[in-house]
Structure 1
């Protein structure tokens, strides 16, 4: 009990200091977000946003970033509480002692675990949703928002049960279980990439053929020029949920989809839409989807290899304190998820840097495919305005959050590129 109280106090103090430091850092970054050399240019939001909206974008970006940075230690605190309080071990013990529930120990344990984590994370999710609503980004009602969270819960539950069942089975057999799991993760990763656009995405939104036949013909003409085997363009009804703009190409093989949000159709003109679609096609042509799969497979190798050593050391040091007897039992899941979360957070600067390079390459390809930069600057400005995005994020945000080059950099490149 004394050990539990000690780690809780230390973690709480560290969390408060960290949250305050991040808040001060983000607040300071809003004072002069645009370098002096670019003030008054098209890359300066003060030139295309009114003063009130500009201040709103700075505050909203800082708030979103603060929630992001505290969400990871918040998650770690939840898992540490389950471990040091032995709640996970108690759940497993009760399920195993029940003759009727013993056979369903793993799926029921995952349900308890996921439900507990969901409730602990609910305050942050609600705060994020309310900020989005009050700032005019989200148009989604409470009922629809809760429905999406329920779908999240269900999809994640099924995946965790499947992955944990297979992992525990392999771990019981011993040997280099992490290598066997990695080999199995390869077809699983490809399978998930295939079903994402045709099975999972439709659980959240309705996809229809593009409502503008003439625009679809022009987009498909671009796709043909880029040697992309597409027969239709999909339009997804996002205006019921958001005012933000987006478009993407996803899937592999027969599940390939070119998708436009209806908000993009409503807010962008034709040259801007064709440019944003050419950018997304650039990901296909440059084989970024395949490289993404290779990256996922490679990162899972590193994660499993490093994780196998780390989890053994953790259980050797804290296994008795946590009430965990073996790695391949449900009570060990919080420790595994804690480790995955920490390793994921640490790896974000690397994965984001790779993503930014891919996005820049797609920008270059889009200009080449279209043969013009017409609409690029106004498109980036509208993207910033629609979601109140920051044009030049502070360094830590770039490292840990930015999967794309900053909108400031993209505008400057569009103006200077040949």
Structure 2
């Protein structure tokens, strides 16, 4: 083992152990904090949230956190199995023996890796859907529908993913030292295309979308969007209730293909004014250009990632330091891709709180915009209904929130809304 290989092995091991310790520590804090506050509804919500709803949210949070601990341990074991324990290297050698050193072998390596990973994750996925979510009354899907969704996703993933992987592997081999720049440009173009085609070609494969039929609500929503200077291709209702009782609304698409989608569960639970307020919050993200800022950030981060991969793929210590014996007489491009995808989350974990904080800041700004355009009371009651409906705990551990939450906790969020200057609350 070269010096660089030893350094990489040591850094990877240290980062993995430290990240696991932090994750388990944060999860244990969350579990203790939620359990400690289970028996009392926070004073700010005493008149709006029942004890039964509060305790259901606490129990749901605790159940997910405990399952998360198992998922963390399994994920770490699988990661070590693929890397330092030689699993990826062994799989590569078997496929080279069967298929030779060629593009087919590299694609087979990528496909086999994804397939094995999916099989490993299958039991926990099943348990989460048909035990945990079922126990708390959220699961509405059936084993048949769950299986059909899985098959559809697998076929779609293969139909889209394999050609993309083949093209990137070809670029790595044929376009010279700066292959990563060409691959990045292609990857960004594909993501922009996906934003356009997803609403009309991909999403309908999994759910039914019908135009919003409530004329009164449609008029309110249209007036709100016009007032905010926003246009969309259509207002649609999605049959989310066939899989889950959770409620949501979102914008999808890009440019002229933007559309507004409401879960049918959301429309069943919120008043028209509350739907207006939730939609105004989403419009706030567009008004503050959060979507564009996130896209630019994603483009910049992915460019750095591709550049780093371009460097690491040429270094033998990158492979040996992570438990993989590279091919000596053939390309190692698929190995490089897989190792990079496996290892980067271990190191990027430590900067995750920065992006979580940025996301929470965006949520506060969108809330403030919604209060300007609709009503603070309507947004507050809508959020409380959604927190209750989704069994989101009102008493998360503050440090856990700072590290993980992309949205502010309920107490902090509603307190921030109530503290807005009066001039920001005028409709």
TM-score above 0.5, yes or no: yes
2:182 maps to which residue?
Answer: 180
* Structure-2 change in CA distance of 1:39 and 1:327 (3 Å): farther
TM-score (norm 2): 0.83
1:162-173 pair list within 5 angstroms: 162-172=163-173, 173=175
- Residues 358-401 of structure 1: CA distance to partner in whole angstroms, max 9, x if unpaired? 2221111111122x223222211111111111224324532443
1:4 maps to which residue?
Answer: none
* Structure-2 change in CA distance of 1:132 and 1:183 (3 Å): same
Instruction: Give aligned pairs, total.
Output: 403
Q: Which has the higher contact order (CA 8 A, sep 6+)?
A: 2
- Residue 333 of structure 1, CA deviation: 4.2
Residue 82 (1) aligns with residue 82 (2): yes
Unaligned runs of 5+ in 2: 1-9, 423-427
- Residues 157-199 of structure 1: CA distance to partner in whole angstroms, max 9, x if unpaired? 3444234323222222441333332233332221222222222
1:285 maps to which residue?
Answer: 287
State the alpha-carbon separation in 2 of the partners of residues 416 and 233 from structure 1: 33
What secondary structure does 2:229 align onto? Answer: coil
1:411 maps to which residue?
Answer: 414
Residue 137 (1) aligns with residue 141 (2): no
State the alpha-carbon separation in 1 of the partners of residues 137 and 360 from structure 2: 27
Residue 119 (1) aligns with residue 122 (2): no
State the alpha-carbon separation in 2 of the partners of residues 356 and 97 from structure 1: 50
1:363 maps to which residue?
Answer: 367
Residue 349 (1) aligns with residue 350 (2): no
- Residues 293-320 of structure 1: CA distance to partner in whole angstroms, max 9, x if unpaired? 1121012123223444555567446179
- Residue 273 of structure 1, CA deviation: 0.8
The answer to whether the Cα contact below 8 Å between 2:319 and 2:326 also exists between their aligned partners in 1 is: no
State the alpha-carbon separation in 1 of the partners of residues 304 and 103 from structure 2: 33
* Structure-2 change in CA distance of 1:395 and 1:183 (3 Å): farther
1:4-403 pair list within 5 angstroms: 21=25, 23-32=27-36, 39-42=42-45, 47-68=47-68, 71=71, 74-83=74-83, 84-85=86-87, 86-97=89-100, 104-129=104-129, 130-172=131-173, 173-230=175-232, 232-309=234-311, 315-316=317-318, 318=320, 321-325=323-327, 328-370=332-374, 372-403=375-406
The answer to whether the Cα contact below 8 Å between 2:172 and 2:333 also exists between their aligned partners in 1 is: no
State the alpha-carbon separation in 1 of the partners of residues 133 and 377 from structure 2: 31
The answer to whether the Cα contact below 8 Å between 2:233 and 2:258 also exists between their aligned partners in 1 is: no
- Residue 275 of structure 1, CA deviation: 0.4
The answer to whether the Cα contact below 8 Å between 2:281 and 2:367 also exists between their aligned partners in 1 is: yes
* Structure-2 change in CA distance of 1:95 and 1:263 (3 Å): same
- Residues 270-292 of structure 1: CA distance to partner in whole angstroms, max 9, x if unpaired? 11111001111222222222222
The answer to whether the Cα contact below 8 Å between 1:190 and 1:293 also exists between their aligned partners in 2 is: no
- Residues 70-108 of structure 1: CA distance to partner in whole angstroms, max 9, x if unpaired? 64563353244234133321343144249xxx6633443
* Structure-2 change in CA distance of 1:407 and 1:267 (3 Å): same
The answer to whether the Cα contact below 8 Å between 2:24 and 2:69 also exists between their aligned partners in 1 is: no
State the alpha-carbon separation in 1 of the partners of residues 277 and 160 from structure 2: 36
What secondary structure does 1:41 align onto? Answer: helix
* Structure-2 change in CA distance of 1:308 and 1:332 (3 Å): closer
The answer to whether the Cα contact below 8 Å between 2:277 and 2:379 also exists between their aligned partners in 1 is: yes
RMSD: 3.3
Moved more, 118-127 or 107-116: 107-116
* Structure-2 change in CA distance of 1:13 and 1:288 (3 Å): closer
Unaligned runs of 5+ in 1: 1-6
